[in-house]
A and B are shown apart, each in its own frame.
Chain A
Amino acid sequence: MGHWRRLAVSFALAGALLVSAGAMGVAAGTNGQQLSPYDYYGHIASGYVYGTNQNCQFAYDAFSWPNHWYDTSGWYWQDWSGCGSYAVEVYGRNSSGTQVGSWYIGPPHNQGSDNWYSCQVDGPAVNCLAGYQNTGVIS
């Protein structure tokens, strides 16, 4: 009886270790927003983001973007004067690799219940909304 109980305790501890390790791997930022870009006209094939991350560090994220359902998850961006914020900008490239535009976006510092920020990145003026949005057209 004692043998099985000790074994069960060992497994429980190992499981807790596994869960906590996993949680560390996907730890969310405490400030800023994840970016969900979408392209209404389907012109964007890849791009990159420059700006300030959740820790007030200047960051650069290059992403290939097969379609607008995939987002730059795990990156948290913010425009916040509290850390001398550098403007967050998205740059889009077409399928030939030519830059087709750059868009200033202003992801807020504070996180609510939803830390996603959605921006249309192929319009004449960028449209950003709080919350998750994955609309658009593949054309």
Chain B
Amino acid sequence: MERWRGQYIVVPALALLVFGLVGCGAKAQFPTLPGNSSHAAVRSFINWDQCLRQHDVKVPTGFDLYTNTGPKLNIPNAAGSACQRYLPPAPPPSQAARQKLITESNCMRARGFANTVTYSGGGVGIVFGAGLNPGTPGFTAAMKACGLPAYNPPGS
């Protein structure tokens, strides 16, 4: 009887799927600190705090890493650099910020200026098509009409 050999594909595929779901879920659901933070974020924050203590810097009670409200904190550069790797990931851009950018992007596209919306590193942005820049006729006027902030290079 012929043996079924699909397990060589199915089992690794399932493993990939599980890893993928876990990874994407962690990224999409990342909360802010200190409120409803994920376990991983809280653990990271604790490690950061402990690292700073080892450099004689105490994070005051009530300090809010993400909103920069509450007690203030001054960290010498040496301690900040040494403990940087423990910082929880930056909070993702807000839904409002994403939506605003998508609207601006669509507006620019509707005026003939191809672009793509990009998310990374705590920011949201627009990358324009090759050769499109403030020197392109109509570009600056479209920026203004679409609600993008002005670009004022030196000497302008």
Q: Interface on A for B, CB 8 Å cutoff?
A: 6-7, 9-11, 13-14, 17-18, 42, 45, 48-50, 52-53, 55-67, 69-75, 84, 86-87, 89, 91, 99, 102, 104, 132-135, 137-139
Contacts and interface: CB of A to CB of B under 8 A. Distances in A.
Q: Nearest 3 A-B pairs (CB), nearest first?
A: A74-B120, A73-B121, A61-B125
The main secondary structure of chain A at its interface with chain B is mixed
Contacts of A67: 65, 68
Contacts of A135: 76-77, 80
A69 B91 CA distance: 12
Interface residues of B, number: 51
Contacts of B148: 60
B74 interface: yes
Interface of B: 5, 7-9, 11-13, 15-16, 19, 65-68, 72-74, 76-77, 80-81, 84, 87, 90-91, 93-94, 97, 101, 118, 120-130, 132-135, 148-149, 151-154
B87 A69 contact: yes
Contacts, number: 135
Contacts of B74: 137-139
B126 A134 contact: no
A134 B80 contact: yes
A125 to B, nearest CB: 12
A50 B134 CA distance: 10
Given A71-B121, A87-B153, A134 B81 contact: yes
Which of A56, A58, A73 has most B Cβ within 10 Å? A58
Given A58-B132, A60-B125, A104-B154, A48 B81 contact: no
Given A69-B80, A72-B122, A10 B127 contact: no
24 contacts: A7-B8, A10-B8, A10-B11, A42-B72, A48-B125, A48-B149, A57-B128, A58-B132, A58-B133, A58-B134, A60-B126, A61-B123, A62-B101, A62-B123, A63-B122, A64-B123, A66-B91, A75-B121, A84-B133, A86-B151, A87-B154, A99-B149, A104-B153, A104-B154
The main secondary structure of chain B at its interface with chain A is loop
A32 to B, nearest CB: 13
Contacts of A62: 97, 101, 123-125
Nearest to B155: A87
Which of B80, B93, B122, B134 has most A Cβ within 10 Å? B122
Nearest to A85: B133
